[in-house]
Structure 1
Amino acid sequence: MQLRSSAFESMGSIPRKHTCEGDDLSPPLEWSDVPEGTRSFALLVQDPDAPDPAAPRRIFVHWIVVDLPPDVRQLPAGAAAKLPPGARHGKNDYNKAAWAGPCPPIGRHRYFFALYALDTRLPDLHAPTRDEFEAAVAGHILARAELVGTYQKEAAAPRRAG
């Protein structure tokens, strides 16, 4: 299975409009080479560089989506505002069931978009945390695809004298 975005290349910079400094729209995603028997997709977006890439202390969850229908092969930009029928948000580390775009406090962070093809649906998960998500998908993963983007906040403009 392969996961791509028309907004950024693998290990490329995520455009500002998909971050807290822009419109905070979820980026467009598309996938292919889906395995036979896929009954749903699940998506997990995490930043392993929080709070500082030089001294990471935690993995920060930015987005969880479960029960994407098996016939869906893409999410357009801003899809987090209106998921396909049947799909649901999990809780990010802001404790919200929504997309939370990159917003690193310091340095350039990596954002891992992991898409899972599952042999089941997850109807009992309403707004799962990462731990609940991982427990639910364990033993049901047919394939996994990953796309990594990076982001660093823009430096504040230097002050002009006079």
Structure 2
Amino acid sequence: MAGVPQDSDDFRMVCPPVNKEDGRLPRKYTDEGQGTKCRMSPPIEWYNVPEGTKSLALVVEDIDAPDPNSPIVPWTIWVVAHIPPTLKGLPEEFSGKSQELGGEYENIVEGNNDDKVPGWRVPTMPSHGHRIEFRLYALDDEVHLGKTVTKERLQDAIQGHVIGEAAMIAVF
């Protein structure tokens, strides 16, 4: 289930606050809770980063987002690149604070979400039950993304460099 570490050697990720019974992302990380005021990103942890990883990248999407012109078009909530493979996760409220945290966090880049601003942004949901997919990529090289980082630019840049993927689903 989402949020529960498994006893395995597989590359995997978890979001500890996600409810272990139903996979729910707590309201404080959404536009309905405390998160609406401070854009609070949840803590994320990962385990067993593949050998040879030079960098990690994260994409978080609402994979059930409706679009007036199409039945379902994923909504990008968060794009994070240049994560050092020595890190074991991102702390709660990381979004917007990489410079403040300094150290290994300093060179991490947050890309634009579908609100066209960098950082964590859960969209206003017309209904509950949407699946939020967290996907972490282990890369064999540093990617060059230019000035404006987007999910599309990241996905283009990582082609041929992904040596492992870890994913989890939370429900909003």
TM-score by length of 2: 0.80
**Partners of 2:139 and 2:161 within 8 A in 1:** yes
CA distance in 1 between counterparts of 2:22 and 2:148 reads: 29
Equivalent in the alignment of 1:7: 17
Q: Does 1:32 align with 2:47?
A: yes
Shift of residue 106, structure 1, vs aligned partner: 2.1
Deviations 1:36-75 (A, max 9, x none): 11111000001121128xx843110000000011211111
Whichever of the two has the greater Rg, that structure is 1
CA distance in 1, matches of 2:77, 2:21: 18
Question: Matched residues in 1 for 2:148 and 2:136: separation?
Answer: 17
**Cα drift, residue 95 of structure 1:** 0.3
Tell me the equivalent position of 2:8. none
Q: For residues 13 and 128 of structure 1, do their structure 2 counterparts lie closer, same or farther at Cα, with a shift above 3 Å needed?
A: same
Q: What is the SS of the residue equivalent to 1:49? A: coil
Maintained 8 Å contact 1:11/1:148 = no
Aligned to 1:19: 30
C-alpha separation in 2, matches of 1:131 and 1:23:
29
Aligned residue for 1:71, secondary structure, equals coil
Gaps of 5+ in 1: 152-162
Distance 1:11 1:128 in 2: 33
Shift of 1:102: 5.1
Distance across 2 between alignment mates of 1:34 and 1:79: 20
- 1:10, distance to aligned residue in structure 2 (A): 8.6
* Aligned length, in residue pairs: 149
Q: TM-score, normalised by structure 1?
A: 0.85
Which has the larger share of helix?
A: 2
Q: Distance in 1 between matches of 2:148 and 2:21?
A: 28
- How far off its partner does 1:76 sit? 1.1
> Is the strand fraction higher in 1 or 2?
1
- Provide the aligned C-alpha RMSD in A: 1.8
| C-alpha spacing 1:81/1:51, structure 2 compared with 1 (3 Å) | same
Report deviation, 1:81: 2.5
Q: Which runs of 4+ in 1 moved over 6 A?
A: none
The residue that corresponds to 1:120 in the other structure is 141
In structure 2, relative to structure 1, the CA distance for the partners of 1:102 and 1:15 (3 Å cut) is farther
Q: What is the rounded CA distance, in whole Å, between the counterparts of 1:48 and 1:145 in structure 2?
A: 16
Q: Percent of pairs identical after alignment? A: 36
Query: How many angstroms does 1:107 deviate by?
Result: 3.5
The Cα of 1:103 is off from its aligned counterpart by 3.1
Contact 2:78-2:119 at 8 Å conserved across structures: yes
State the SS of the aligned residue for 1:21. Answer: coil
